[in-house]
Structure formats: C-alpha cells, structure tokens
C-alpha cells in the first residue's frame, strides 16, 4: 500500500519548526510522500521557511468564495507551495448553496452551486477538499472539469469575497 501520502502540521505552534524537521526526516526515510502545513498565514509560513530544508507541498487553509485568501495564495505560489481549501463550502457557516450569484452562474452552465464554487477555486489555482459522504455529491464534486467560468463570472464571484475568516483562524 505504501506510506501515507501527506503529513501536515495542523496549525502554527511554537514547536512548529521542530515538528517540521521531524516531518522532513520522515520524508527523507520514505515514511511519507509529502509534508506540509495547515492554517499558516503568510508571515508564519515565511518564518517556517527560514528553518526548514523542504518547502511545504501544501498549506491547507480556509478558502471559499467569501474568503479566497488570494494574497496568501500568491505568497505560497512564490515559494512553490500549493494552497488547498479545507472549507470550500463554508461548512454551513454561510448559506453558500442559496447564494444568488452562484445560483445564476450554475444555472447558466447546467451545474450545481457546489460545482461552481469548486470550479471557481480550481480556476484560481487553489486545490479543494470538498466534504461529503453521499455518493451523488461525491460524483458532482469531481465533475467540475468539463466547464470553465468566464472572466465575468470569475469577477462576479470574486465580488463575494469579504476578506475575513468565517472560522476565526486568521
């Protein structure tokens, strides 16, 4: 079966540099395939880079249409780290599935609001981790590569961004 694919530090801790060094050793020994972090803001991420040898593969953060964290994504991309959204549907913190902008765009593409929300993040270059245990929704979540959002649609969705966390992480 092989080693676990990805090992992450869940959030910034005072011990993060030491924890990350231990993860680098696990990577070197082949015990994991990739290492990364979660919930690291730009400054925290850049501070970690000062102490590590392996650039994090990902930084899993809250990201959705209301808080896409574009500045953080640009920082991560500059160093070769992928931003990955752990809450692309807001985990019920906002009524994203009733959002009029998303509903109109979804209708125009014959897609669901969830598919449009995921496609938006993907087109921004953000990886997504949609959560579902329902087979039909799992199929919908993967079926986002057969359409593209126009520049105007991307701009309309970007206008929803409030620039603040719904979870209090940042």
If you average pLDDT over residues 117-123, what whole number do you get? 98
Each residue's pLDDT tens digit, 43-59: 999 999 999 999 999 99
Alpha helices in 29-163 (DSSP H): 42-49, 70-79, 100-109, 113-123, 135-142, 151-158
123 and 154 Cβ atoms separated by less than 8 Å: yes
Q: What is the pLDDT of residue 170?
A: 59
Q: What is the pLDDT of residue 93?
A: 94
Q: Is the pLDDT of residue 3 over 80?
A: no
Contacts of 109 (CB under 8 A, 6+ apart): 115, 116, 147, 149
If you average pLDDT over residues 138-167, what whole number do you get? 95
Each residue's pLDDT tens digit, 8-65: 999 999 999 999 999 999 999 999 999 999 999 999 999 999 999 999 999 999 999 9
Residue 76 in tokens? 């991560």
Kind and range of the H or E run holding 58: strand 58-61
What are the chain's domains? 6-158 (3.20.20.100)
Q: What is the mean pLDDT of the chain?
A: 94
**d(C-alpha 13, C-alpha 19), whole Å:** 9
Q: Whose structure tokens read 């993860």?
A: 23
pTM, two decimals, is 0.92
Q: What is the DSSP secondary structure assignment for residue 64, as one 8-state letter?
A: B
């Amino acid at each position: 079966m092989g080693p676990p694919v990805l090992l992450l530090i869940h959030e910034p801790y005072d011990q993060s540099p030491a924890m990350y060094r231990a993860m680098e050793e696990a990577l070197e020994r082949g015990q994991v395939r990739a290492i990364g972090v979660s919930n690291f803001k730009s400054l925290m991420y850049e501070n970690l880079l000062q102490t590590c040898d392996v650039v994090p593969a990902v930084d899993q953060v809250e990201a959705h249409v209301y808080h896409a964290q574009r500045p953080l994504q640009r920082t991560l991309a500059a160093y070769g780290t992928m931003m990955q959204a752990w809450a692309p549907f807001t985990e019920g913190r906002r009524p994203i599935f009733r959002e009029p902008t998303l509903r109109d765009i979804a209708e125009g593409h014959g897609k669901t609001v969830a598919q449009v929300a995921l496609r938006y993040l993907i087109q921004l270059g953000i990886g997504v981790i949609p959560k579902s245990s329902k087979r039909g929704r799992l199929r919908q979540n993967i079926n986002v590569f057969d359409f593209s959002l126009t520049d105007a649609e991307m701009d309309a969705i970007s206008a929803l961004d409030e620039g603040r966390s719904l979870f209090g992480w940042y």
